[in-house]
């Protein structure tokens, strides 16, 4: 096997925009989002699917983008944290994160937001245990779990008004 990386053409839709590119087959979706598409909101951290910092939605389902090869995303619709703010305005969920102090160092925030948005889409009025389960795949080393939970509850209330 040659040491040269095999290239593979893929097409995907990222935050509503169609993109065609050639990716190295051993590059993850995370690599391609950050390095090829320069969408650096999605964070690289543990690289073993435990921390959730690289969470994106793929065809409407959240995944750890470090555990998806970019070639596997051929044809997929991807939403990253950059896709949450419509028309340059923060979503109510993003605003709630700021208001409750759920954003401290901010490194886990993009993944938390994508996972929380997915939870609210599936379950608009989650209970605290449901929030804990929905966000169990997202670690916060600043320990803002209480504030993050509050933010999700606040965003759910906001949507109810």
Partner 1 sequence: MHTFAYARPATLAEAVALLAEHGAAARVLAGGTDLIIRLRDGTLVPDVVIDLKRIASLRPGVREEAGLVVIGATTVMTDVAADPLVRRHFPALADAAAVVGSVQIRNRATLGGNICNASPAADTAPPLLVYDATVVAEGPGGTRRIAVDDFFVRSGVTTLAGDEIVTAIELPLPALRMGAAHERRTRRRGHDLASVTLCCGVREDGVTRLSYGSVGPRPVLRVDETGILADPAAPAEARTNILEQLLADASPSPRSMRASPAYRLAMLRVLGRRALATALERLEARA
Ligand X SMILES: Cc1cc2nc3c(=O)[nH]c(=O)nc-3n(C[C@H](O)[C@H](O)[C@H](O)COP(=O)(O)OP(=O)(O)OC[C@H]3O[C@@H](n4cnc5c(N)ncnc54)[C@H](O)[C@@H]3O)c2cc1C
Return residues touching ligand X (CB under 6 A).
48-50
User: Cα–Cα distances in Å, from 13 out to 21, 83, 126?
Assistant: 11, 11, 29
CA triple 52-55-59, angle to 5 deg: 145
Residue 98 bridge partners (DSSP): none
**Residue 96 Cβ vs ligand X, minimum distance, rounded to whole Å:** 27
DSSP string, 79-100: E-GGGTSBTTB--HHHHHHHHH
Cβ closer to ligand X: 53 or 156?
Answer: 53
Q: Which residue is nearest to ligand X (CB)?
A: 49
Site residues for partner 1, 62-81, by CB under 8 A, read 62-64, 66-69, 71-72
Site residues for partner 1, 2-21, by CB under 8 A, read 3-6, 8
Taking the C-alpha atoms of residue 116 and residue 86, their distance in angstroms, rounded to an integer, is: 16
User: Cα–Cα distances in Å, from 4 out to 7, 24, 26, 42, 70?
Assistant: 9, 9, 11, 27, 17
Q: Which does 80 bind (CB under 5 to 8 A by kind): partner 1, ligand X, none?
A: none
Tell me if 33 contacts partner 1 by CB under 8 A.
no
Q: Which of 90, 137, 142, 145 binds partner 1 (CB under 8 A)?
A: 137
* 50: DSSP letter: S
Contact residues: partner 1, CB under 8 A = 1, 3-6, 8, 24-28, 47-50, 52, 55, 61-64, 66-69, 71-72, 115, 118-119, 133-134, 136-139
């Amino acid at each position: 096997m040659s040491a040269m990386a095999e290239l593979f053409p893929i097409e995907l839709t990222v935050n509503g925009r169609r993109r065609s590119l050639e990716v190295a087959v051993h590059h993850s979706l995370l690599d391609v989002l950050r390095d090829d598409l320069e969408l650096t909101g999605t964070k690289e951290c543990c690289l073993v699917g435990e921390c959730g910092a690289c969470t994106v939605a793929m065809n409407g389902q959240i995944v750890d983008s470090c555990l998806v090869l970019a070639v596997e995303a051929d044809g997929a619709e991807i939403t990253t944290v950059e896709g949450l703010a419509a028309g340059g305005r923060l979503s109510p969920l993003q605003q709630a994160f700021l208001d409750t102090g759920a954003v401290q160092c901010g490194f886990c925030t993009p993944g938390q937001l994508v996972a929380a948005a997915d939870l609210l889409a599936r379950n608009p009025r989650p209970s605290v245990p449901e929030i804990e389960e929905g966000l169990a795949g997202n670690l916060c080393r600043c320990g803002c779990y209480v504030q993050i939970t509050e933010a999700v509850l606040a965003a759910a209330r906001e949507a109810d008004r």
